[in-house]
Amino acid sequence: MTELLYWLVLLIAVLVILALLARYNLWRLPRPRAWPRLLMYHSIRPTDTSAGIVMDVQRFAWQVDWMASRGARFVTVSQLLAATDPRGMVAITFDDGYADNYQYAWPVLRRHGAPATVYLAPEIEGIERLSPAMIRELQADGWEFGAHTISHCHLPSTSAEKAQAEITASRRAVETLTGQPCRSFAYPFGKYRPEHVDMVREAGFESAVTTRKTILPLARVNRFELPRLSMVGQMNRFEFWLTFSRGRYRV
């Protein structure tokens, strides 16, 4: 009976370990801390009901504090790409242009002198958007503003003519809002095809970010397909650590 119990406990332990390895990327080797990280956020709100693209401000603040305590060098995407020594750099990005980036994310980042890059879709519907006055304040504090098409369209299901118009017009619209060159682009939903990469380059952008979840040295990435780490609203501290160190926390 004792031997049977031993084997039963051992079997349960093995199953638990396998379940953890299947759920979490503990088996992935950590990426060098010197390699830069690009992080993707969306909406930051004062709520404890984080889910999907919405993250509560307390969770966001802990993540920024954690990175700062480990020597993160916070930069915009364009600053990262222009750096001669990108070791330890972290580029925090926000997609869509939520007003809460100004209301709740900015005070957290300002404590650490950390800028961010916001990808604006100037005519996106269904969200409270950053106002021109908010954009000017953030820009004065060192934030960068990129483009995310005009209406946040799904490029692969959009005609070539309309996709080109959305990409080109979004750059002009962002430059009108900021009075500064718009250098970077984000593919809506992270969905695109090779021809869209060409359109972004031809529109005059210098870089573009994706939703590909990996960590690589800049020398090994295409500047028009930059990977980013997805910051999911409900991720706990362990999951954040796994994502920051390995690129993603789940398989």
Average pLDDT for runs of 10 along the chain of length 251: 68 58 66 94 86 92 97 97 95 98 98 98 96 97 98 97 98 97 97 98 98 93 96 93 87 57
- A 10 A CB-CB count for 221 gives 19
Enter the tokens of residue 195: 């021809």
Q: How far apart are CA 117 and CA 143, in angstroms?
A: 6
pLDDT at residue 47 in the model: 77
Rounded-to-10 torsion of CA 185, 173, 196, 200: -60
Q: Write down the H helix ranges in the chain.
A: 2-23, 57-69, 77-82, 100, 106-110, 132-140, 160-178, 194-202, 237-246
* Predicted local confidence at residue 18, as pLDDT: 52
Q: Domains (ranges, CATH) in the chain?
A: 32-246 (3.20.20.370)
Q: Which amino acid is at 81?
A: L
